Structure 1
């Protein structure tokens, strides 16, 4: 759901990219190549869909649904699709726009009277369009810890707490990716339609689109036998490095944020979705429309410029000249062509959706791991195929780029340990114990248990860990759930020797931005 940078194929013959024809048909050796890639990169399973000139020309699964199990991925195997679902939430809004029930530039407070941002002026001016384009003034990933890695909060309560998150910049002044305002969009759909986001999307988007295997609720996905299991690497120093492991699929993101990325889908269903996108809203059977051409035009029109940070060698040519965010879609250029795309990631699964409108070509790539090198590499190899670019081993290049980043992070962490100052905490253990709360996240509790401190994020089920002294009044929390990102926990002590504030930040320099510990400020509560 959260949008990771998917930079994590090695061809069948080392050093030689597979041969792509310059036009029309999918690569002749696509099956052979994908099988080689997932084997060499350690990705358990993958699904690939390609649409050309309005027809699904490829929809196929590769590998297995779960490491150690024989069940194969096929064209109907469903994967969580993460933030690629933002385009589906936008399509749901488009249905309501076409029916005249809302307008893209309606004020949010006209449909959710209790909606409130930190700043009163922004509250009054925020439009439905603003919810979708990451220009609200919120910081990168602000508020994600209300649903990452899990949550007990309702969507309505999550939306209510938005008022406590301080902006990082002024309203509409720039781009910063967020998930939280898509949760607001989902609540708006419910308030306008009378159906919750899950039901409305299933009945008004997925079913008309012919996406019969797709789901909007975790319980429905878990009830589907033909589904993947998530995988990640966690034992190599930090997340993303080490041995591939199967994750617990039920320790999933909070449903409160499902409008930002809670759809699960298959290769066959993605075929229908890509057909509809290329046809500007027309249904594949030719018997109607999901949304209007006007809505399609709105969804693909750039709204806010995205900063361009040049990639280094060996992937420098992946740097766009133009990059912007539209309504649930990224818009950029590559080899002179306009590319409409969006990546998506939930823990242990990643997806990439790419449209080349001028060529009437689109494709989706799904993997049941976090090894995004496969997604980014295959994306550029397919783009080169359809845009007539030279043959190139993009996966190998992305793998080299990832290797350098990982080594840099490992070096950083090693240096942090050598530079740690010999010191003692200023308080006894019981001096740090108590109940604390952050205005938007809510309560935590620190308890002294058997000679150690334990930290409990009360509204995130099973997010409990042990505090290990780092230096001075800073500790590291090592969560019982190894999939949760370790963090520094720093205590502020007042003149009376009592804790008056707690701040946090992720330990790993490559931690996903959704672990927005740095936005938290805990203060003592009653009994703390």
Structure 2
């Protein structure tokens, strides 16, 4: 529903956040520049962006998520329900600070930061390039580009979340407006919003290009392709990195291409969503003839989205939403639609799978809470609570938080604990566990209302304060907020003042 409480129904022109589906637009623009500007997938990223420290990473490495570097994206998507809200300079600094995890690029490591860089490789004014070379030619008149969903268009969804006991929490649009300007790095990663009508136009174009695929035999054919939105789908959909599901002969069953995942049914889909963390994904297409599927999914922007192309069938499946469910219901809906479209002889029971995964999500969250509660030791913190207070800042990527004693009106809610504010998100309790370690684990509904990402690692919900070597005072805190950075992000304390303004951080 658009607005939910106002009970205004959506239609095919209602605008939804696309989140990570925006990366497919970025990849299409990169492929265009291969024909228009002589860009090569083998170009070194540093040749286009000298500030990038990795002198070996190529354009195709970023497109296929195969740099072998850490992929810590949690902080970049934490605020505003999952929006990527950082500028190019911040993205480069965060990219440069990533440590190598895999040598020789042997495995898939999803890293949104790469697409933040690719937007500028395409054009210094990426959003203008995208408008002129993709949106305008395809007449995608209801598609918008912004780090934050723009509400200057009347037919735009309001985000909401489902709470316990059939209650609904809606979000005021102003809560998603930290920056008012368009940041190209953010647009390239996840800042595009669109409607189902516009996405249908977008999906038709590569399906049509699939029919004319093949090498451009002469200069005239190459010139013709240069003007097309999708000049070469063979290049765009060419597998770049296996996603770990290989056949016995070593060939990849499923690979990440440029902005899309490619596979041949029968296969398991949904690797990029949360359902794969909750259960073993079912095989889609059992008993059917091989069918090529090119797909992508998103869980940014506090919403889920799923798009799949079936070029051999000249069909596409588009599922957009204005909410993020714990079990990624959009993923299940998308797979159900593919199954129905192809009339598979051995169908999966997707309603049952959705129900089981939703129950599993809640059970696992409760288990995390129980583990954290068991780790609590008798006694209080080793120092006065006032010594933990202040403003803390992580520099790569830039992120800050404030730790304070609770205000008078919050004393009941924050009894015997601290109050923590993550950037512009309202404060919530920080409760002592042991030594200088505190937890911000929240009941399910409180976490949902705060728009904080769901995670099933106890470490994610802990804040470990670090004292000076002599133990006299707190100098930083460590937050292991991302499994891709197991050592955690360090937040040095930049001020002891609880009133230190965020804009100075």
The structural deviation recorded for 1:93 is 1.6
Aligned counterpart in structure 2 of residue 356 of structure 1, from 303, 310, 313: 310
The structural deviation recorded for 1:67 is 1.3
Aligned to 1:246: 170
Cα distance in 2 between the residues matched to 1:83 and 1:97? 23
Aligned counterpart in structure 1 of residue 463 of structure 2, from 486, 489, 499: 489
Cα distance in 2 between the residues matched to 1:521 and 1:100? 41
Aligned to 1:280: 209
Matches within 5 A, 1:309-348: 322-335=253-266, 336-348=290-302
Cα distance in 2 between the residues matched to 1:375 and 1:298? 28
Aligned counterpart in structure 1 of residue 238 of structure 2, from 301, 313, 329: 301
Aligned to 2:276: none
Deviations 1:240-284 (A, max 9, x none): x9733212334349754221111111111111111101012799x
The structural deviation recorded for 1:78 is 0.8
Contact 1:454 1:466 in 2 (8 A): yes
> 1:270 and 1:443, CA in 2 relative to 1: closer, same or farther beyond 3 A?
closer
Aligned to 1:179: 112
Contact 1:145 1:517 in 2 (8 A): no
Aligned to 1:290: 228
Contact 1:435 1:443 in 2 (8 A): no
Cα distance in 2 between the residues matched to 1:456 and 1:406? 25
Contact 1:434 1:446 in 2 (8 A): yes
Q: In the comparison of the two structures, how many residue pairs are matched?
A: 427
Alignment RMSD: 3.3
The structural deviation recorded for 1:359 is 2.0
Aligned to 1:475: 438
TM-score (norm 2): 0.75
Aligned to 1:389: 344
User: Quick one: higher RCO (CA 8 Å, sep 6+), 1 or 2?
Assistant: 1
> 1:456 and 1:414, CA in 2 relative to 1: closer, same or farther beyond 3 A?
closer
Q: After the TM superposition, which of the residue ranges 333-342 and 443-452 deviates more from structure 2?
A: 443-452
The structural deviation recorded for 1:99 is 0.5
Is 1:107 the counterpart of 2:44? The answer is yes
Q: After the TM superposition, which of the residue ranges 209-218 and 155-164 deviates more from structure 2?
A: 155-164
Aligned to 1:502: 477
Is 1:258 the counterpart of 2:187? The answer is yes
> 1:188 and 1:85, CA in 2 relative to 1: closer, same or farther beyond 3 A?
same
Gaps spanning 5+ residues in structure 1: where? 1-63, 117-122, 310-319, 507-512
Is the partner of 1:229 in helix, strand or coil? coil
Is the partner of 1:475 in helix, strand or coil? strand
The structural deviation recorded for 1:417 is 1.6
Deviations 1:159-210 (A, max 9, x none): 234222323333523111111111111122233xxxx222211121111112
Contact 1:494 1:500 in 2 (8 A): yes
> 1:425 and 1:395, CA in 2 relative to 1: closer, same or farther beyond 3 A?
same
Aligned to 1:42: none
Cα distance in 1 between the residues matched to 2:328 and 2:465? 38
Aligned counterpart in structure 2 of residue 438 of structure 1, from 368, 383, 394: 394
Aligned counterpart in structure 2 of residue 149 of structure 1, from 79, 83, 102: 79
Aligned to 1:47: none
Cα distance in 2 between the residues matched to 1:433 and 1:290? 57
Aligned counterpart in structure 2 of residue 83 of structure 1, from 20, 23, 39: 20
Deviations 1:482-528 (A, max 9, x none): 1234831012334411335421245xxxxxx6997963122355779
Deviations 1:293-339 (A, max 9, x none): 4x311111111111349xxxxxxxxxx98221011001123233221
> 1:199 and 1:162, CA in 2 relative to 1: closer, same or farther beyond 3 A?
same
Contact 1:164 1:439 in 2 (8 A): no
Cα distance in 1 between the residues matched to 2:339 and 2:252? 17
Contact 1:373 1:399 in 2 (8 A): no
Cα distance in 2 between the residues matched to 1:463 and 1:516? 26
> 1:111 and 1:347, CA in 2 relative to 1: closer, same or farther beyond 3 A?
closer
Cα distance in 2 between the residues matched to 1:68 and 1:433? 39
Aligned counterpart in structure 1 of residue 331 of structure 2, from 367, 372, 376: 376
